[in-house]
């Protein structure tokens, strides 16, 4: 046996103690790096979710205007603008969405114009939500694409179609 193997700092207990120390040190560094608890439920403009819901804000908050178009408005816009209608015809349903939450027959060849014209209410609203995000009617954060937003809408429709339709309809101004 060599002298190195007999040193106390190389024993199993010493190694275990060093691991515990590193683990505790890492945890402390992580905790210190978290922001103050008072900021955990704030939005980017400093307003708290609780304050917004209760109407009891301790500071003035910036609000964003959300003025989405309904499926009927997007359909009307496309009818009156052949270039836009052609754009909608060029976008296939399955290039944005994975499936129809209503189980309706949305074929792989279906395009967004066809869905606006003949789709189910849920599918029409999914298209409207996507178009509102795509054309800047819904302010998305910089790391969220309209396609990611559409996927989120689709997932929400699978959980509760009625709640999704209510939420989207509240954003429609036309």
pLDDT tens figures, 109-144: 789 999 999 888 999 999 999 999 999 898 888 888
Mean pLDDT (the chain) is: 75
137 and 101 share a domain? yes
107 and 162 share a domain? yes
| 93 in any annotated domain | yes
More confident position, 168 or 37:
168
Using the predicted structure, report yes or no on whether residue 156 has a pLDDT greater than 50. yes
User: How confident is the model at residue 28, as a pLDDT?
Assistant: 45
Neighbours of 45 (CB within 10 A): 11
Which residue range(s) make up the domain with 106? 71-169
82 and 49 share a domain? no
31 and 115 share a domain? no
Q: How far is CA 4 from CA 1, 7, 10, 11, 15, in A?
A: 8, 5, 8, 10, 14
18 and 102 share a domain? no
Query: Is residue 143 within 8 Å of 84, Cβ to Cβ?
Result: no
**pTM of the predicted model as reported, rounded to 2 decimal places:** 0.64
Q: How far is CA 17 from CA 3, 28, 36, 81, 113, in A?
A: 21, 16, 31, 72, 66
Weakest-pLDDT range from 39-48, 98-107, 146-155, 156-165: 39-48
């Amino acid at each position: 046996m060599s002298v190195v193997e007999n040193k106390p700092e190389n024993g199993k207990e010493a190694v275990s103690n060093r691991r515990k120390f590193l683990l505790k040190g890492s945890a402390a560094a992580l905790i210190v790096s978290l922001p103050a608890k008072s900021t955990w439920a704030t939005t980017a403009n400093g307003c708290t979710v609780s304050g917004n819901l209760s109407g009891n804000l301790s500071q003035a908050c910036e609000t964003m205007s959300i003025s989405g178009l309904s499926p009927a408005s997007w359909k009307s816009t496309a009818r009156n603008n052949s270039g836009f209608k052609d754009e909608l015809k060029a976008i296939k349903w399955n290039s944005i969405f994975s499936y129809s939450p209503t189980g309706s027959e949305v074929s792989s060849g279906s395009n967004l114009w066809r869905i606006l014209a003949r789709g189910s209410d849920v599918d029409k609203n999914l298209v409207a939500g996507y178009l509102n995000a795509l054309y800047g009617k819904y302010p998305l954060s910089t790391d969220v694409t309209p396609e990611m937003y559409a996927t989120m809408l689709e997932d929400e429709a699978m959980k509760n179609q009625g709640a999704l339709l209510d939420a989207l309809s509240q954003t429609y101004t036309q």
